[in-house]
Amino acid sequence: MSRILIVEDEPRVAAFLEKGLQANGFCTQTVRDGIDATSLALEGDFDLVILDLGLPGQDGLTVLEALRGQGLQIPIIILTARDDINDKVAGFERGADDYVTKPFRFEELLVRVRARLRRCGTLNAPPEMVLRLNDILLDLRTRRARVGDRSIELSAREFTLAETLMRHPGRVMSREQLLDRVWGYDYDPRSNIVDVYIGYLRKKFGSEAIETVRGMGYRMRS
C-alpha cells in the first residue's frame, strides 16, 4: 500500500484528503507544521508528499527546498490556494512535481497522485474491495451491503459512513472526524447529521453494531 504524507494545516482540508485517499487504498499520515513536515518526510518511508504552502513554523516552499536539498526524490505535489504564476514557477523551480490550486476537485488530485506514483514505479496493487466485520459485509465495487444472509439497501452517504467506520474497527471516531471524512471539509460542524445517520445504520445493521463512546464519538464493535 502506497504511503502518502499530507502536509496541511487546515484540519478540514486535511481530513477531506485523508478520507478520499484512504478510500482509494492509500495509507496516509498528516502533519500540520512545516518544521515537523521536513523531519517526518526525511525520516518516514513515504511514496509521495502532498504539500500546502501556507504553513505555520516554516513555509511550504522552504520545506520543499529543504527536502530536495537533502536528496529526497519522491514525488511532491503542491496543493495550495496560491494561484499566482510566480508562486507556481517558484514551486517547480524548487523541485515540485505538480501544482494544484484550491479549490480543487478530489478526482483530479487523485489522477495526478496515481500518475506520479506510476512514473516512479511505486503505485501498489489495487486494495481489497470487500470489507467484512462480524456479520457485516460491504462490497466497495458494487456499493452493496449484507448483514448475514440479508441484502441491505444503503444510501450513498450511509455506505460511506459505514465504510469509514469499518476501515477502523474498534477505533473511536469523533463526530468532527466523521463529518470531515463523510460529508467533506465544508460541512457545518454544528450539525447533528452524524448522529442521525448513525441511527439509520443501527436500524439496518443492528442496534449493537455501532457503539457510542460518551463524550468521544462512535466505533464499530469488533
pLDDT, mean of residues 192-217: 93
Residues of the chain with pLDDT > 90: what percent? Answer: 57
Helix, strand or coil, per DSSP, at residue 120:
coil
Which CATH number applies to 130-220? 1.10.10.10
202 has pLDDT over 60: yes
Coil, strand, or helix at residue 213?
strand
What does each C-alpha distance from 184 to 5, 194, 199, 214 come to in angstroms? Answer: 19, 12, 20, 24
The pTM (predicted TM-score) of the whole model is 0.60
Residues 95 and 74: beta-carbon distance below 8 Å: no
* 206-215 pLDDT per residue, tens: 999 999 999 8
pLDDT at residue 141 greater than cutoff 80: no
Here the cell at position 5 is 504524507
Between CA 157 and CA 161 the distance in angstroms is: 6
Overall average pLDDT of the 87-92 stretch: 94
- At 43-74, the pLDDT tens digits run 878 899 999 999 998 999 999 999 999 998 99
On whether the CB atoms of residues 8 and 50 are closer than 8 A, the answer is yes
pLDDT of residue 97: 95
Give residue 96's pLDDT band: very low, low, confident or very high (50, 70, 90).
very high
Ordered by start, the domain boundaries in the chain are 3-119, 130-220
Mean pLDDT of the chain: 88
Residue 133 has pLDDT above 50, yes or no: yes
- How many Å apart are CA 48 and CA 145, to the nearest integer? 33
CATH code linked to domain 3-119: 3.40.50.2300
Q: Give the distance, in angstroms, between the CA of residue 197 and the centroid of all CA atoms in the same chain.
A: 21
pLDDT over 90 at 89, yes or no: yes
Which residues are CB-contacts of 181 (< 8 A; sequence separation ≥ 6)? 15, 16, 18, 19, 164
Contact 58, 83 (CB under 8 A): no
Indicate if 130-220 has the same CATH topology as 3-119.
no
SS3 assignment, position 12: helix
Band of residue 182 on the pLDDT scale cut at 50, 70, 90: confident
Predicted pLDDT at 185: 57
pLDDT value, residue 125 = 47
